[in-house]
Copies of this chain bind each other. A is one copy, B any other.
Amino acid sequence: MPADDVARVRDFPVTWAVQTRWTDNDMFGHLNNAIYYALWDSAINAWIARDAGADPMTDAALPLVAQSGCRYIGELAYPDDLVVGIGVDRIGSSSVTFRLALYAAGAEPEDPVAAVGSWVHVYVDRVTRRPCPIPPEARVVYEAAR
């Protein structure tokens, strides 16, 4: 992140367009806090399905969330179109740590994002649920997103 500690659109090399839904807004008329995580989950998994061929119903190695967090900076709301920003901070043998953002579609590179997140995926064996190596196809995708 830049020196002023403000996360900006340009800090997240991978972008994924996401839609909002009627039920995303809660009684306060804005995106419910849990939806941010659901959108990040959807974006990360769709990205590795498209670019690394991941298939959650059959792959031997499953990426499970070990840790996540979000700092909510600005309000977002249905029916606006949004963008998920993804960057990779650390790649281990079994785990990958992402930095994440959510912001309104049309934002400029210098614009601050509306939310900043962190996310750790640990790959585990489908049957034993024990940590296992990151699949090579996924590793390539993650390396390119630092």
Q: Within the complex, which residue of B32, B62, B67 is in contact with A71, where a contact is CB–CB below 8 Å?
A: B67
Pick the interface stretch among A4-12, A38-46, A138-146. Answer: A38-46
Q: Within the complex, which residue of B42, B50, B70 is in contact with A22, where a contact is CB–CB below 8 Å?
A: B42
Given contacts A33-B68, A68-B70, A71-B66, contact A42 B23 (CB under 8 A): yes
Q: Which residue of B lies closest to A57 (CB)?
A: B29
Q: Which residues does chain B contribute within 8 Å of A69, judged by CB atoms?
A: 67-70, 118
Asked if B71 and A70 make an inter-chain contact with CB atoms under 8 angstroms apart, the answer reads: no
Asked if A19 and B22 make an inter-chain contact with CB atoms under 8 angstroms apart, the answer reads: no
Please report whether the interface of chain A is mostly helix, strand, loop or mixed according to DSSP.
Answer: mixed
Asked if A23 and B26 make an inter-chain contact with CB atoms under 8 angstroms apart, the answer reads: yes
Q: Which residues does chain B contribute within 8 Å of A67, judged by CB atoms?
A: 69-72
Give A residues with C-beta under 8 Å from B: 18-23, 25-29, 32-35, 37-39, 41-42, 45-46, 49-50, 56-57, 62, 64-72, 75, 78-79, 118, 129
Ordered by A's residue number, 15 sampled pairs between the chains whose C-beta atoms are within 8 Å are A19-B42, A20-B42, A21-B38, A22-B41, A22-B42, A22-B46, A25-B27, A28-B56, A33-B37, A33-B41, A37-B37, A46-B79, A66-B71, A66-B72, A68-B69
Q: A34-B38, A65-B72, A67-B70 are in contact. List 11 more A-B contacts (CB 8 A).
A: A19-B42, A21-B38, A21-B42, A22-B38, A27-B27, A28-B56, A33-B68, A34-B37, A37-B37, A45-B79, A69-B118
